[in-house]
């Protein structure tokens, strides 16, 4: 049977959460879905837990799973490995510590069968507690829109200003991804992958259903406070800021991504390294060539930051005390 949907799940150090993730998928699984699980060299019991979940299934559902193994290279490399073999008409991505709503697959099939969009944007609930004691913090969504929309320049500007680049919140037609791949070795790789993709799509479907549950995990890689991880965050911010700035000359929409990423980086740097490190970094990335098209900045805070730089951030930190 041909596959309508390929779902890609990188796995690394998630033995506490992965059973709930996999079971939330199993209860709604059918033969039209392909699940590609990539063992990213996980040192814990995650893969044994997954294998145990799969072994309990009837053979026709076991056949929906493909397990790939690699030495630890990070989730970008894991996703790329899966993309190389995915055969579904559409591709989605799941983080292995998150939980799917029971209508996740049903809602995606409804949209795919009814509209065949280039890309689907789904809504999510963010939670922070462990199994069976979920504390929902907030709804996560791209825009207040529902249904199929042409991806006009105006809508792309809205999406870029929202800067909502969580890879799990998009399901993409595989034929459009083609040779698009994630950059390995950095955080925020979703932003580079998705922004370049959105620019060349024709349409998008906005679902109004919260069908994904995103775990706010303080032990996750992005939030880890270790010195090694802080440095990787800093290096990743530098990479994407330079990437977005260099891309402005190819497409002005990247003005938005550059300003938002720089502002976020400086706030992070102030928190981790102090105000003087923030000021130094600001002048390192200043828009000396004036490539930025400030008319594209819809958010007043982003516009004020672009105009006043670190002085705006310092004022903001004082005002919020």
* pLDDT number for residue 105: 98
pLDDT interval class at 227 (50, 70, 90): confident
Mean pLDDT of 44-71: 97
- How many C-beta atoms surround the C-beta of residue 102 within 10 A? 12
Q: Is the pLDDT of residue 155 over 90?
A: yes
Mean pLDDT of 92-108: 97
Q: Is the pLDDT of residue 138 over 90?
A: no
Please give the structure tokens belonging to residue 278.
């923030």
- How many C-beta atoms surround the C-beta of residue 25 within 10 A? 20
* pLDDT number for residue 295: 97
Q: Which residue has the higher pLDDT, 224 or 269?
A: 269
Q: Is the pLDDT of residue 223 over 60?
A: no
pLDDT interval class at 150 (50, 70, 90): very high
* pLDDT number for residue 321: 59
pLDDT interval class at 317 (50, 70, 90): confident
Q: Is the pLDDT of residue 116 over 80?
A: yes
pLDDT interval class at 224 (50, 70, 90): low
pLDDT interval class at 131 (50, 70, 90): low
- Residues 288-318: b if buried by 16+ CB within 10 A, e if exposed: eeeebeeebbeeeebbbbbeebbebbeeeee
Q: How far is CA 149 from CA 121, 153, 154, 155, 319, in A?
A: 11, 12, 11, 9, 39
Q: Is the pLDDT of residue 76 over 60?
A: yes
Q: Is the pLDDT of residue 218 over 70?
A: no
Length of the chain: 321
Task: Assign 3-class secondary structure to the chain.
Answer: CCCCEEEEEEECCCCCCHHHHHHHHHCCCCCCEEEEEEEECCCCCHHHHHHHHHHCCCHHHHCCEEEEEECCCCHHHHHHHHHCCCCCCEEEECCCCCEECCCHHHHHHHHHHHHCCCEEEEEEEEECCCCCCCCEEEEECCCCCCEEEECCHHHHHHHHHHCCCCHHHEEEEHHHHCCCCCCCCCCCHHHHHHHHHHCCCCEEEEEEEEEEEEECCCCCCCCCCCHHHHHHHHHHHHHHHHHHHHHCCCCCCHHHHHHHHHHHHHHHHHHHHCHHHHHHHHHHCCCCCCCCCHHHCCCHHHHHHHHHCHHHHHHHHHHCC
* pLDDT number for residue 226: 72
Q: Is the pLDDT of residue 1 over 80?
A: no
Distance of alpha carbon 301 from alpha carbon 49, whole angstroms: 46
Mean pLDDT of 37-48: 97
| CA neighbor of 86 nearest in space, from 75, 78, 95, 96 | 78
* pLDDT number for residue 21: 97
The answer to whether 281 and 265 have CB atoms below 8 angstroms apart is yes
Domain segments of the chain as ranges: 5-215, 227-319
pLDDT in tens, 22-35: 999 999 999 999 99
Q: Which residue has the higher pLDDT, 313 or 103?
A: 103
* pLDDT number for residue 178: 86
pLDDT in tens, 168-210: 999 999 999 988 999 999 999 999 999 999 999 999 999 999 9
CA atoms within 13 A on the CB side of 289: 7
Please give the structure tokens belonging to residue 86.
């995915």
pLDDT in tens, 281-292: 999 999 999 999
* pLDDT number for residue 204: 98
Please give the structure tokens belonging to residue 177.
């991804």
Mean pLDDT of 212-231: 75
Answer whether 0.85 is exceeded by the pTM.
yes
Q: What's the whole-number average pLDDT of the chain?
A: 93
- The architecture in CATH of the region 5-215 reads Alpha-Beta Complex (3.90)
pLDDT over 90, % of the chain: 87
């Amino acid at each position: 049977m041909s596959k309508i949907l390929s779902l890609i799940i990188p796995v690394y150090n998630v033995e506490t959460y992965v059973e709930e993730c996999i079971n939330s998928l199993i209860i709604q699984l059918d033969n039209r879905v392909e699940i590609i699980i990539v063992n990213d060299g996980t040192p814990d019991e995650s893969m044994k837990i997954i294998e145990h979940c799969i072994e309990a299934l009837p053979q026709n559902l076991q056949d929906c799973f493909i397990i790939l193994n690699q030495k630890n290279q990070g989730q970008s490399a894991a996703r790329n490995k899966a993309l190389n073999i995915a055969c579904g008409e559409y591709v989605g991505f799941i983080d292995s510590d998150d939980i799917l709503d029971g209508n996740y697959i049903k809602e995606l099939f409804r949209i795919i069968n009814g509209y065949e969009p280039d890309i689907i944007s789904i809504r999510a609930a963010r939670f922070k507690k462990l199994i069976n004691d979920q504390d929902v913090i907030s709804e996560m969504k791209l825009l207040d829109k529902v249904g199929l929309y042409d991806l006009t320049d105006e809508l792309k500007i809205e999406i870029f200003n929202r800067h909502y680049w969580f890879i799990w919140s998009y399901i993409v037609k595989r034929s459009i991804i083609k040779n698009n791949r994630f950059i390995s070795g950095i955080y925020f790789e979703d932003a580079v992958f998705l922004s370049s993709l959105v620019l060349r799509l024709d349409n998008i479907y906005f679902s109004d259903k919260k069908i994904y549950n995103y775990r706010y995990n303080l032990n996750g890689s992005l939030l880890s406070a270790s010195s090694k991880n802080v440095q990787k965050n800093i290096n990743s911010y530098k990479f994407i800021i330079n990437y977005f700035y260099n891309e402005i000359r190819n497409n002005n929409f990247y003005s938005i991504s550059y300003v938002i990423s720089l502002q976020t980086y400086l706030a992070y740097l102030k928190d981790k390294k102090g105000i003087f490190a923030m000021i130094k970094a600001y002048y390192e990335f200043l828009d000396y060539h004036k490539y930025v098209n400030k008319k594209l900045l819809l958010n007043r805070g982003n516009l004020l930051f672009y105009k006043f730089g670190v002085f705006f951030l310092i004022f903001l930190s004082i005002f919020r005390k």
